[in-house]
């Protein structure tokens, strides 16, 4: 190749190198410009969609949830006090009775005869004592003889009174007003004052019944449950207030009954670390019966003018409990809080101010200083 051709090739190569250098310098200049001279408006990331709520200020009830059993306000097992045959049954299974109503009568023929005999002896002894007093006035007997007849009269009267008491045992009355349960005896059954009245055997079990019948007072009725000793101080504080502690009993069918705590046991059961509590309920519809299992809610504490937020808004990590607060420019910031109590998806806290706007949903990718936009509510179906 000639010298002229080599010279032309060198010129072309230099031109290409210059063009490549110019392209590289232009790309670097563009990157420097976009990194240092681009405005904030063009550099900011898109806003994140969130759901927000406002911090509410109101009284916050700290509810305690537990379970318990319905117990009768008053319950009596009717048992015989003497060994005798059942003569007549004057009530039916499940019948409502009043205090003093006759429930059963026993065979009283022998007891009536014994009482009549004792009464006759007592009457005769009383006449002997009266006669001795008349003779003493006429100086026919001594004072010692009169004293003896008086002692005999008093002893005979005591025997008659005892026979009358035994006779009264043959008529069994209800000591309380309530409802009778299942009657466990029949006319002609032999009953005694032992603990077990009857023993029946069926195809599935053998059952010993310790009473002729059980009378239960069903209205009002009580519910018995336990409260951990950690809640005892709050419970006693609320109980001392004039309005007392309201108790809500939730039934299996969804119905609710409202009652009030009327007694807290005077000692803690060390085996379970809890104290027994009893509340009284109206049961005029007889929807509750003793032994029934129920779920219970009671107010163990009332926080006045508490700051209340949805529990879903709380972020718990190694730095403690926090929430995101949205300012007027729709930017978020971290706010540390202290949780006072949480009940059914809401929490009473300290830290923010009433009316502050907080993030409830969409917190996972948020960072302080980011902009947010409120999620649109779904359109109502036509």
pLDDT of residue 95 exceeding 60: yes
pLDDT of residue 183 exceeding 80: yes
What number of CA atoms fall less than 13 Å from residue 271's CA on the CB side? 2
Q: Quote the CA–CA distance of 199 and 75 in Å, as a whole number.
A: 22
Q: Quote the CA–CA distance of 142 and 134 in Å, as a whole number.
A: 11
Kindly list the distances between the CA atom of residue 201 and the CA atoms of 77, 185, 198, 209, 316, in Å, as whole numbers in the listed order. 21, 14, 10, 11, 61
For residue 220, whether the previous peptide bond is cis, meaning omega lies within 30 degrees of 0, is: yes
| Average pLDDT in the chain | 83
Q: Quote the CA–CA distance of 382 and 372 in Å, as a whole number.
A: 30
Which position has the token pair 């026919």?
140
Alpha-helical regions (H) of the chain: 3-36, 40-43, 109-137, 143-168, 232-239
Report yes or no on whether pTM surpasses 0.75. no
pLDDT of residue 44 exceeding 60: no
Give the CA angle between residues 151, 154, 159 to the nearest 5°. Answer: 125
Burial class for 191, CB neighbours closer than 10 Å (0-12, 13-18, 19+): buried
CB atoms inside a 10 Å sphere around CB 164: 14
In the chain, what are the domains?
Answer: 48-62+305-374 (2.40.420.20), 65-72+218-302 (2.40.30.170), 80-106+170-211 (2.40.50.100), 108-168 (1.10.287.470)
Q: Quote the CA–CA distance of 357 and 325 in Å, as a whole number.
A: 6
Using DSSP's 3-state secondary structure scheme, residue 141 falls into coil
Closest among 24, 127, 54 to 355, alpha carbons compared: 54
Using DSSP's 3-state secondary structure scheme, residue 29 falls into helix
Closest among 269, 288, 278, 218 to 244, alpha carbons compared: 278
User: How far is C-alpha 336 from the chain's CA centre?
Assistant: 34
DSSP assigned state of 51: E
pLDDT per position as a tens digit, 277-335:
999 999 988 888 888 899 998 877 778 888 898 988 888 888 889 999 988 888 888 98
Secondary structure string (H, E, C) spanning 279-342: EEECCCCCCCCCCCEEEEEEEEEEEEEEEEEEHHHCEEECCEEEEEEECCCCEEEEEECEEEEE
What confidence category does residue 203 fall into, taking pLDDT thresholds of 50, 70 and 90?
Answer: very low
Q: What is the CA radius of gyration of the chain?
A: 45
pLDDT at 33: 59
pLDDT per position as a tens digit, 226-278:
888 887 877 787 777 777 788 889 887 888 898 888 888 888 888 888 899 99
Give the CA angle between residues 122, 127, 131 to the nearest 5°. Answer: 150
pLDDT per position as a tens digit, 4-23:
556 666 676 667 677 777 77
């Amino acid at each position: 190749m000639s010298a002229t051709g080599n010279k032309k090739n060198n010129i072309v190569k230099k031109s290409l190198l210059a063009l490549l250098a110019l392209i590289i310098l232009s790309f670097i200049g563009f990157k420097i410009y976009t990194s240092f001279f681009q405005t904030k408006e063009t550099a900011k990331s898109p806003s994140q969609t969130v759901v927000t709520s406002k911090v509410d200020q109101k009284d916050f009830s700290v509810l305690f949830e537990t379970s318990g059993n319905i117990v009768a306000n008053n319950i009596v097992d009717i048992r015989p006090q003497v060994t005798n045959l059942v003569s007549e049954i004057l009530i039916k299974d499940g019948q409502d009775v009043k205090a003093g109503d006759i429930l059963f009568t026993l065979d009283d023929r022998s007891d009536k005869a014994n009482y009549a005999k004792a009464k006759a002896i007592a009457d005769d002894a009383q006449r002997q004592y009266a006669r001795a007093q008349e003779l003493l006035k006429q100086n026919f007997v001594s004072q010692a003889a009169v004293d003896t007849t008086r002692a005999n009269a008093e002893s005979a009267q005591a025997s008659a009174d005892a026979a009358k008491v035994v006779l009264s045992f043959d008529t069994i009355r209800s000591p309380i007003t309530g409802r009778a349960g299942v009657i466990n005896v029949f006319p002609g059954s032999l009953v005694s004052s032992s603990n077990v009245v009857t023993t029946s055997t069926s195809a599935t079990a053998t059952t010993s019944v310790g009473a002729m019948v059980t009378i239960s007072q069903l209205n009002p009725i009580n519910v018995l449950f336990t409260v951990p000793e950690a809640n005892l101080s709050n419970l006693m504080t609320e109980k001392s207030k004039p309005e007392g502690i309201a108790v809500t009993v939730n039934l299996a069918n969804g119905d609710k009954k409202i009652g009030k705590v009327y007694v807290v046991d005077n000692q803690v059961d060390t085996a379970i670390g809890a104290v027994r509590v009893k509340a009284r309920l109206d049961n005029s519809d007889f929807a509750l019966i003793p032994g029934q299992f129920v779920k219970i809610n009671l107010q163990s504490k009332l926080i006045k003018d508490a700051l209340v937020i949805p529990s879903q808004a709380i972020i718990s990590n190694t730095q403690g409990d926090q929430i995101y607060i949205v300012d007027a420019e729709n930017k978020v910031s971290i706010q540390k809080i202290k949780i006072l109590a949480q009940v059914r998806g809401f929490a009473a806290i300290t830290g923010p101010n009433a009316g502050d706007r907080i993030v409830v949903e969409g917190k996972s990718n948020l960072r302080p200083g980011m902009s947010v936009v409120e999620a649109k509510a779904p359109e109502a179906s036509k």
